Structure formats: C-alpha cells, structure tokens
Amino acid sequence: MSTTTARRRASDSYFDLVRDFPLRPIRSAQELDRATAVLRKLLTSTTEQDMDAGERDYVEALSLLVQRFEETNRKSALPRLTPRERLKFLMAQRGMNVSDLGRVIGSQPNASLILRGKRALSKAQIIKLARHFGVSPALFIE
C-alpha cells in the first residue's frame, strides 16, 4: 500500500468518526456520557496498534475534550463544598477510611473528630493532607 493510500484511509476514517460524533466542546453530562461511550467502543473494538493514524488522532482529540470537561466540572464543584466535605471526597476517591486518615495526620482519634465535624483541621494537618493528596492547602481552609 502506498503512503498516499494510507494517508487517504487515515483521513477517511478520521472524517467518518467526526461525522458520527463531531469533535466539539462537551457541555453537559449527557454529552459526556455519549463521548465516553464512543471512546469505549473505539478502544475496545481494536487495539491502538491496529488503529490507523486517523482513528488514533480522533481518540486523542476526543479524550482531551472529555478530560477538559471533567477537570472543569470537578474544579467548579469543589468550591461549593466545605473543607470537611472536600476531605471526605478526596478520601472516597482513594478508598481511604478513618484509620488511613489518622495515619496521614498522625492521630486516629483526631481523624474521627474531624470527619464528624467536632474538630477543625490544624495548620499542620492541612499541610500533611495537601501533600498526601497532591492538592493546594487552600482546599482545606474555609
């Protein structure tokens, strides 16, 4: 197969995919669901090595659009949460329990009090949590 023929096929596959699901910013949860379904179908129907350049480019572009939507919505949801709710969210994302939190901040009893809202986070605990989760300490300050 000539290089020109291979490029034409890659271009054709890319445009076929764009016609089926156009590449544009994702603005709703429903669009996100459709985009992830398209990605799942593409990624499970063939290996990346078996995709042509057009298919790989489409998957990469759609993946970036999905990632951008998820990051934007995750950031916009966090400010509505209290520091304790943010901590609980981050713990849930990592599958952590109160004992795990206690190991991070240095005290299981204090971890329990913090999660129940009976005790505020200290500056030292905030710093430990920020390092542990790889986030800004500002997430844990009201």
List pLDDT tens digits, range 14-43.
899 999 999 999 999 899 889 988 888 887
Res 108: pLDDT: 94
Q: Tokens at residue 80, please?
A: 């509505």
pLDDT digits (tens, 9 = 90+) for 51-94: 888 888 888 899 889 888 887 887 655 557 789 998 998 999 89
Tell me which CATH code domain 81-140 carries.
Answer: 1.10.260.40
Residue 87 in contact with residue 80, Cβ under 8 Å? no
Res 41: pLDDT: 87
Q: pTM of this prediction?
A: 0.49
Task: For the chain, give every domain's residue range.
Answer: 3-78, 81-140
In this model, does residue 3 exceed pLDDT 60? no
When pLDDT is cut at 50, 70 and 90, the band that residue 102 belongs to is very high
